[in-house]
Amino acid sequence: MSMHVSKEQIESMASEANVNPSAFGIEPSSDFSFSPPGNVIRGRAELWLWHSTPPSSYFLYVNESLGLATTWMGDVLGNVRFGKEYRDNLGGVRIPIVVYGTNRIRYHGTYFKSAGDYARIKAYRS
């Protein structure tokens, strides 16, 4: 999917930001098209944010056989330690987990085993 930005849109964005349109690196006299970032770029951005500004809570994926927490693109976010499996009120299987993040933060949360390979985690209080 590509997106088309017209000269008028560039000039409008520049005036709202109170900057010269050429600050965007675009000559306002020309129209251009660009494609939004793909999955690989978004995955790398997610990994960069994980390290640069560690989140207090997060949604991630669990590779149970390897004991790893990953992004949806498979980038490793940390090692996972599993607790004792239990069933929720609707019969779903859940496992408490501890994630030792590659961002040097320790997290705890729930791995929703029967619903998929995802987990929700929160950072331990310091």
pLDDT tens for 51-75 read 999 999 999 999 999 999 999 888 9
**Contact predicate 113/105, CB 8 Å:** no
**Residue ranges of E strands in 30-75:** 32-34, 57-63, 68-70
Q: What is the pLDDT of residues 85-108, one digit of tens each?
A: 999 999 999 999 999 999 999 999
Phi, psi (deg, nearest 5) at residue 124? -65, 145
Q: Per the confidence metrics, is the pTM higher than 0.85?
A: no
- Per the structure block, which two tokens stand in for 33? 């098209």
Biggest CA pair distance of the chain: 63
Cα gap 99→121, rounded to integer Å: 8
